[in-house]
Amino acid sequence: MNEKSLSTAIAFLSLLALPLFLYAAAGPYGPISDLTFDITITVPDEYRISGMQDIVFGEYSGSGNLESNYDLCVYTNGPGSYRAYAIDNSALSPTGFSAQNPSATADVPYVVRWNDVTGTSGNTRLNFNNAKNFTGANTQSVDCSIGGNTANLLVRFTRANLQAAPGGTYFTTLTIVIEP
């Protein structure tokens, strides 16, 4: 066989092998063909907290504690457990909770308590920027319209701290973080 015939034979055999290659990559050749492949998707556990609102205590009467609490929604598409922690923006108490006056010369410490059910019975004190484990998040609806609210937040200014504070208006921004 000469060199030209050998080249022609190799080219011809290559063309015959092409449909076999296509068959392996794209499914059988014919009037019906199919292709099977895997699809993978990862959905991470997600969390949402809602139902929070501003707390305005108004003017302190001079006696007792000031306390506000309300039920809210903690949702997860995971198993229902979560970690919660709280921080605020007080410059005078960077590692503790406090509301401060506009000139940042005085502050009033306060306590944050969390419950993984509605109501205050059995709530737990949250320390500044220190996550604690909780269970009972709503796993049925992101807005708790099915299953209801699942947590309670309580903010308390004690009588002793309020009576020790200079007169004025005090403010802070409290942030609650929910995480896996």
Structure confidence by residue, pLDDT tens digits, 121-147: 999 999 999 999 999 999 999 999 999
Q: Which of 88, 86, 75, 2 is nearest to 45 (CA)?
A: 75
AA identity, residue 91: A
Let me know whether 26 and 106 are in one domain. no
Lowest mean pLDDT: which of 34-38, 63-67, 150-154, 171-175?
Answer: 34-38
Residue 105: inside a domain, yes or no?
Answer: yes
Of 20-24, 52-56, 61-65, 172-176, where does mean pLDDT reach its minimum?
20-24
Q: Considering its fold, how many domains does the chain have in total?
A: 2
> Is there a single domain that holds both residue 95 and residue 132?
yes
Q: How confident is the model over 40-59, as a mean pLDDT?
A: 94
Q: Which CATH number characterizes residue 124's domain?
A: 2.60.40.2040
Query: What SS3 state is found at 23?
Result: helix
> CA-CA distance, 114 to 75, in Å (whole number)?
15
Say yes or no to pLDDT of 113 above 80: yes
Mean pLDDT score of the chain, rounded to an integer? 88
- 30 and 95 fall within a common domain: no
Averaged over 52-59, what is the pLDDT?
Answer: 94
Residue 2 in 3-state DSSP? coil
E strand or H helix that includes residue 41: none
User: CA–CA separation, 101 vs 77, rounded Å?
Assistant: 40
For the chain, strand residue ranges (E) read 47-50, 66-76, 82-88, 98-100, 107-109, 111-115, 124-126, 132-134, 151-157, 174-179
In a domain, 174, yes or no: yes
Using an 8 Å Cβ cutoff, are 132 and 114 in contact? Answer: yes
Whether the CA torsion 102, 68, 51, 83 is positive or negative: it is: positive
The reply to whether the predicted model has a pTM over 0.95 is no
Contact of 156 with 111, CB cutoff 8 Å: yes
Instruction: Please tell me the predicted confidence (pLDDT) of residue 93.
Output: 87
| Residues 18 and 80 placed together within one structural domain of the fold | no
Residues 52 and 25 in one domain: no
16 lies in the same domain as 90 = no
Tokens of 133: 């484990």
Identify the sign of the CA torsion 137, 139, 140, 145.
positive
62 shares its domain with 139: yes
Domain limits for position 1: 1-37
| 68 pLDDT above the threshold of 60 | yes
DSSP assigned state of 167: S
Does residue 79 share a domain with residue 131?
Answer: yes
The candidate with the shortest Cα–Cα distance to 165, out of 60, 57, 56, is 60
pLDDT band at 5 (very low <50, low <70, confident <90, very high): low
